Structure 1
């Protein structure tokens, strides 16, 4: 294992958040089975105190998870000079068989964490907290990916050795590359660019329509969920060459380098925020029928839709600015 401040911080955060979630899972089961807000019994009072503590533990753990994804990518990028063949985070992730799975699981865990936090926020808006049982029942769907991501991350860092010879991003995202990443890299550029514009643009328009009319939550969630992969494909196959001004360089991680002005951070953050906020809008939709949430829940959905629209619009504006500033012409 390579010891560095980012790695140690990641491991400490992952251990803490996993521990919090495992404790919360153990305490959540009685809440799901025996929660009765109409009861004034001593057992119900204990459950209410336990639910409050579970909420604090889960919110803390998921906040750590939201920060951990960015730190994991940053740490992978910072470790790249230690490995022969690595030029950026892509090489570090390829230095063990756990690197890419850890990244994929952490991305999924982050989206699920954002959706659960939106559900928790909605529950706190009503005086009777009508979603206590629901959010505790859904806790395993969030906790399991977070804990799995922490385990894969630990396995990845434990497997790293300075003598490892790894693959550079040129081979991973080149014509000779194998696997899904190579497939994304060599999508037809015009088609990938069309996806990058069309789906995030449609998600932004749907989110703006929801803010005006209060309708279309399912469309916002579906389009935002599709816009994430479409944006990833567009950034890799179409936008990256404009940034590097090199048609054959299609790595999304080199966008995080200072030589490129760290433009990858706002681009990737916009995709993640758009996905999380847009999906959360749809997750909340079934609970609009709850009487105590009839007023506050639509307002929360509108705020989330506004965040999604802003994120997708920022992605499109950033992509347009990068293409306009590039010396590369198709």
Structure 2
């Protein structure tokens, strides 16, 4: 393993997150099994104290989990100069067979952790904790993903050695190669461009409608999730080309570098945060009619929808500005 400060930070933070989640899961299992809000027993009082501890612990753990996604990408980009053949994070992640699986797990856990935090925040706003069993069942379902990420990332980081020759992003994201990244790069630009603007436009309109009328929450959430994945495919297929002004350079990581003004960070932050907020509207939608959440859920949903609208608009505006004012054209 390369003893770089960022590598050590990732390794230690992953262990801490894993330990905190496992510890919380032990308490969560007891809460799911024995929780009874109508009881005044000594066991129930202990469970109520435990839920404060678990909620606080997980708020920090999942907060670190969200940050670790960006730290992982930043670390991979920072280390690329140590490996022959690597020009950005794409090459660093290709050093061994665990880099990209760890990235996919981190992205998955970013979304799931964000949704859990939204559910937890909603539950804590009510006087009777109506979602306590549901959120802890959700937590128990999350544990295998967190533990798997910890293991896969550990294997990746421990396998980093400076004498390894790796592939550059030009070959990894080439439309002529085989693989998922190559398939995304080979997607036809015009249909995907139409899908990108259609999904973003639909999400923005549905979001404004939901904020104004309070209706169509599920449809808005579905649209936000669809737009999220369409945007990721679009970044690789055609958006990146306008930033690099090269017709065959589809790498989604070079935009994180200084040469491109680190524009990738606000792009990814807007897309990820907007996606979590938008999907979060749908996650808490079934609880709108709970007596203790009748006022809490609609207000929170409108704030989440407003965040999605603002962040997706920012993402689309940055992309559109670059497409309009770039010297590169695909027409």
TM over 0.5: yes
Partner SS for 2:288? helix
User: Match for residue 204 of structure 1?
Assistant: 204
Q: Write out aligned runs for 1:69-218 (5 A).
A: 69-218=69-218
Preserved contact between residue 123 and residue 132 of structure 1 (Cα < 8 Å): yes
Given the alignment of the two structures, is residue 326 of structure 1 paired with residue 326 of structure 2, yes or no? yes
Taking the aligned partners of 1:325 and 1:5, their CA distance within structure 2 comes to 39
Given the alignment of the two structures, is residue 239 of structure 1 paired with residue 244 of structure 2, yes or no? no
Q: Which runs of 5+ in 2 are unaligned?
A: none
User: Match for residue 26 of structure 1?
Assistant: 26
Instruction: Say which is worse superposed, 15-24 or 211-220, in terms of deviation.
Output: 211-220
Taking the aligned partners of 1:249 and 1:141, their CA distance within structure 2 comes to 38
Q: CA deviation at 1:325?
A: 2.4
Taking the aligned partners of 1:38 and 1:327, their CA distance within structure 2 comes to 67
Taking the aligned partners of 1:245 and 1:189, their CA distance within structure 2 comes to 15
What does the per-residue CA deviation read over 1:170-228, in whole Å, with 9 as the maximum and x for residues that have no partner? 00111332211001111111122222212122122212211111111111221121112
Partner SS for 1:178? coil
Instruction: Say which is worse superposed, 292-301 or 320-329, in terms of deviation.
Output: 320-329
Q: CA RMSD in A?
A: 1.1
Taking the aligned partners of 2:260 and 2:115, their CA distance within structure 1 comes to 32
Preserved contact between residue 195 and residue 231 of structure 1 (Cα < 8 Å): no
Taking the aligned partners of 2:326 and 2:77, their CA distance within structure 1 comes to 24
Taking the aligned partners of 1:129 and 1:304, their CA distance within structure 2 comes to 21
Taking the aligned partners of 1:283 and 1:4, their CA distance within structure 2 comes to 39
Taking the aligned partners of 2:324 and 2:220, their CA distance within structure 1 comes to 29
User: Match for residue 51 of structure 2?
Assistant: 51
Taking the aligned partners of 1:23 and 1:111, their CA distance within structure 2 comes to 21
What does the per-residue CA deviation read over 1:117-155, in whole Å, with 9 as the maximum and x for residues that have no partner? 000111111111111111111112223222221221111
Q: CA deviation at 1:51?
A: 1.1
Q: Which runs of 5+ in 1 are unaligned?
A: none
Report how many residues are paired.
330
For normalisation by structure 1, the TM-score amounts to: 0.98
Taking the aligned partners of 1:48 and 1:270, their CA distance within structure 2 comes to 36
Given the alignment of the two structures, is residue 5 of structure 1 paired with residue 15 of structure 2, yes or no? no
Given the alignment of the two structures, is residue 303 of structure 1 paired with residue 307 of structure 2, yes or no? no
For normalisation by structure 2, the TM-score amounts to: 0.97
Preserved contact between residue 29 and residue 140 of structure 2 (Cα < 8 Å): no
Instruction: Say which is worse superposed, 54-63 or 66-75, in terms of deviation.
Output: 54-63
Q: Write out aligned runs for 1:237-316 (5 A).
A: 237-316=237-316
Q: CA deviation at 1:237?
A: 1.2
Preserved contact between residue 28 and residue 140 of structure 2 (Cα < 8 Å): no
Preserved contact between residue 65 and residue 146 of structure 1 (Cα < 8 Å): no
Preserved contact between residue 76 and residue 92 of structure 2 (Cα < 8 Å): yes
